[in-house]
Amino acid sequence: MPWSPRWSAHARCSGWPVSDPNAAMGAVYQELLLDHYRRPRNRGDLPDADITVEQRNPLCGDTLRLQLELDGDRLSAVAFTGQGCAISQAAASMMTQLIRGKTLTEASALRERFRAMILGDAEAAADKSLGDMRALAGVARLPVRVKCALLAFSALEQAMDSVRRAGPDPTAGNGKGETGNGN
Ligand code: ZN
């Protein structure tokens, strides 16, 4: 067994939960998850973050802080810190990798797609646009772990809500004053 018992710090999240009837694919996916858990991408602080949000999953004790930098409506930098089970932390690593450089609209679409996959949508699970995150498709069979897998995107949703509240609508376009304001 390549993983140690200290992975199981949270009693309700103990053990490695992702198995796949297709053993070969399951092994690839487990390897991906393990890799993101051990070598998280975009983990750390963004000193110039435009938005910082924190989320907690009380079911499992997972914590996550997500930071975003925006360039217009594009996510120019994304970082996270957190603690918790392998699924929550690997999902955060994968999500930051996936959404970095995307627009808010694109990130929102990916969130919907990922959510569908985690809730059992087989078509979403085959969607290559989800990248490494497809390794989490097996969570659909483990309802108790759904919140772990969705924690990162829940944080993203909270961050995007605060963008919408704070600023002008980024989808309104750049044609300022092009209609009827000649001055
Ligand atoms: Zn968890």
The predicted-structure confidence for 62-105, as pLDDT tens digits, reads as follows 999 999 999 999 999 999 999 999 999 999 999 999 999 999 99
Domain boundaries of the chain, sorted by first residue: 43-166
**Distance in Å, CA 177 to ligand 1 centroid:** 48
Q: What is the pLDDT of residue 28?
A: 81
Would you say the pTM of this structure is higher than 0.85?
A: no
pLDDT at 24: 66
- The confidence score (pLDDT) of residue 172 equals 53
- Name the average pLDDT for the chain: 85
Please classify residue 139 by burial: count the beta carbons closer than 10 Å to its beta carbon, then call 0-12 exposed, 13-18 middle and 19+ buried. buried
Q: Which is higher by pLDDT, 171 or 158?
A: 158
CB 64 within 8 A of CB 42: no
Residues bordering ligand 1, an ion, CB closer than 5 Å: 13, 60, 62, 85, 88, 148
Residue 117 in contact with residue 140, Cβ under 8 Å? yes
Gap from CA of 38 to ligand 1 centroid (Å): 15
Instruction: Output the pLDDT for position 26.
Output: 78
Can you tell me the distance from the alpha carbon of 128 to that of 22, in angstroms, rounded to the nearest whole number? 18
Instruction: Let me know: does 26 contact 20? Beta carbons within 8 Å.
Output: yes
Better-scored residue on pLDDT, 153 or 142: 153
Q: How far is the CA of 62 from the centre of ligand 1 (A)?
A: 5
Which CATH code is given to the segment(s) 43-166?
3.90.1010.10
Q: How far is CA 27 from the centre of its chain?
A: 22
Ligand 1 centre to CA of 150 (Å) is 10
Q: What is the pLDDT of residues 9-49, one digit of tens each?
A: 444 565 455 554 456 667 888 899 999 999 999 999 999 99
